[in-house]
Amino acid sequence: MSREKRIIPCLDLLLDEKGGRVVKGIEFEELVDAGDPVEFAKKYEAQGADEIVFLDITASVQGRETILDVIKRAAAAITIPFTIGGGISTLEIAQKNLDAGATKVSINTAGVKNPEFISKAIEEFGADRIVIAVDCKRNPDISVEGVNIFEENGQKFWYEVVIMGGNEGTGMDTVEWAKQIEALGAYEILLTSKDRDGTKDGYDLPITRAVAEAVSIPVIASGGVGTIEHMVEGVLEGDADAVLAASVFHFDVYTVGDVKEEFRKRGIPVKS
């Protein structure tokens, strides 16, 4: 385990009358306003965060672009890399987000609907500026052909790729989609379990590990962190290259420094 593992706070954004706000919910629903995203970003940089992810969670559903004002303010306030995702559906929109100051853009729904868009974005901006987000959910219908079957507590299932903020199934197998993403030239995958999002039950380790083993590019584990141990498990059991968390940081359950200290105690390399 020579590669340093990254700790990445995630800020889910919702557009309202106050502008872009940080929200947190359960399985992408029951959202609670947590505050101003740029203030959170500044706090996390001070705590030692390696990167930050901003996800505009309703941009794709509402058919609009991301919250550019938040990106511009964040770029002026912090120096660590940050990714913006949500509504990145054209090269023009991606360009606007990068021009506004984002280090990377995250492509999800548009890439599933048109994989060629991923290749074009990588060609246009470089693989190191593109993150491919994959949202998935367990599907108990194991009669579907060509999917990777998992079993847990006597229950068999597969992981279906979901889009539109987790609201729409695709019929696509998550592991196979991850392999295709790598073949398209992607540099990194942000993998989120819709089943675990906001539950504080820990990452969905079987799919995290399966994707990490299926590809050679970095995988960011996302969805379900409630304790530092969950983040440790994401690395040691899920084989993730980075761990992403939201509410445990937003509500000051832990700091990024707390996580890095525990990682060091467990022999997991992190940046100082």
Compute and round to an integer the Cα radius of gyration of the chain: 17
Tell me how crowded residue 152 is: count the other CB atoms within 10 A of its CB.
11
Active site residue 135: yes
Does residue 144 fall inside a structural domain?
A: no
For residues 164 and 235, the model is more confident at 235
The closest alpha carbon to 133, from 171, 92, 100, 177, belongs to 177
Number of domains making up the chain: 1
Catalytic residue among 36, 56, 99, 135: 135
Active site residue 252: no
Does residue 248 fall inside a structural domain?
A: yes
pLDDT at 3: 87
Does residue 238 fall inside a structural domain?
A: yes
Does residue 155 fall inside a structural domain?
A: no
Does residue 179 fall inside a structural domain?
A: yes
Give the residue numbers spanning the domain of 248: 6-135+161-265
**Chain-wide mean pLDDT for the chain?**
91
Does residue 272 fall inside a structural domain?
A: no
Residues 45-51 have a mean pLDDT of 98
d(CA 167, CA 210) in angstroms, rounded, equals: 23
Retrieve residue 197's tokens: 């999002």
pLDDT at 1: 59
Does residue 45 fall inside a structural domain?
A: yes
d(CA 234, CA 203) in angstroms, rounded, equals: 6
What is the CATH classification number for the domain harbouring 127? 3.20.20.70
pLDDT at 26: 42
pLDDT at 17: 42
Catalytic residue among 12, 50, 56, 204: 12
